[in-house]
Amino acid sequence: MDKVGLIFRNPDGSFRVGPIPLLGGPFESASDYFKSWARVNSLPSSKITADYNRDFPDRISRLAAHLSSYDRGPFPIFHPDFANHNLLVNDQYDLIGVIDWGGSLTLPREFIQLFPMDLQSLHEIFWKNGPFDGPRARERQANVEAWQMQYISCIKEEETRLGRSDDLSGKIGGIGSQLMETLLMFERRNQNPLGRLLDVFEETLVEV
């Protein structure tokens, strides 16, 4: 799609991209979307739950032009609840469909580089060497990372079969998608100091 927005079904059965509740749009660029997100989430009524996250939306606004490698699209369809409970498989466990597309949006490409919900994990900057670190946490993280690698391997196989580039498999779970996850975490009133990942991202900009 050529715009960021919420997907609507037209009376004739076709689809269109329209405004996102509260945010507005549709947006012609990823940076415009990020700036609108930051503006709405900076309002006094927004879901800010910790002082150390209070400047997070402002930092997103300042970095808006750098958050997506595809500022002018195209913008893929993002499933807001992409997890095992919405996947249909046959008796051989072949994937045959994905259900529950209500509330789907077209979003910056980095959003589809997120792992499915069942395979997501926090960036180590939020927990490593902290109070939640320990042998069990590291074992759990190692298990999740093994499943993530299997998932990436399956995507690579499909890219090869279709003769496509590794644009998804090569970037899934990278810093770009992790930043998109922090936006979702902020909306869910997550208590982690989300700005830490922005610090990491800004360091990569300086290196470039």
Mind listing the pLDDT tens digit for each residue in 147-199? 999 999 999 999 999 998 888 999 999 999 999 999 999 998 888 899 999 99
Phi-psi region of 173 (alpha: psi -120 to 50; beta: other; left: phi over 0): left
The answer for residues whose C-beta is within 8 angstroms of residue 89's C-beta and 6 or more apart is: 95, 96
Cα three-residue angle 137-139-140, rounded to 5 degrees: 65
What are the tokens at 79?
């499933």
In whole angstroms, how large is the CA radius of gyration of the chain?
A: 18
106 with 30: CB under 8 angstroms? no
Model pLDDT for residues 64-84, shown as the tens digit of each residue = 999 999 999 999 999 999 999
Q: Is the pLDDT of residue 5 over 90?
A: yes
Q: Is the pLDDT of residue 17 over 60?
A: yes
Cα–Cα distance for residue pair 17/127, rounded to 1 Å: 38
Q: What is the pLDDT of residue 179?
A: 96
CA distances from residue 131 to 13, 119, 135, 138, 200 in whole angstroms, order as listed: 52, 23, 12, 13, 21
Model pLDDT for residues 98-153, shown as the tens digit of each residue = 999 999 999 999 999 999 999 999 899 999 999 989 999 999 999 999 999 999 99
Q: What is the pLDDT of residue 63?
A: 97
Q: What is the pLDDT of residue 107?
A: 98
Q: What is the pLDDT of residue 40?
A: 94
Cα–Cα distance for residue pair 78/101, rounded to 1 Å: 9
Q: What is the pLDDT of residue 206?
A: 74
Cα–Cα distance for residue pair 31/63, rounded to 1 Å: 9
Model pLDDT for residues 91-105, shown as the tens digit of each residue = 999 999 999 999 999
Cα–Cα distance for residue pair 159/157, rounded to 1 Å: 5
180 with 78: CB under 8 angstroms? no
Listed by start position, the domains of the chain span 5-207
Q: What is the pLDDT of residue 165?
A: 84
Which amino acid, one-letter code, is at 180?
M
Which amino acid, one-letter code, is at 8?
F
Other beta carbons within 10 angstroms of residue 197's beta carbon come to 21
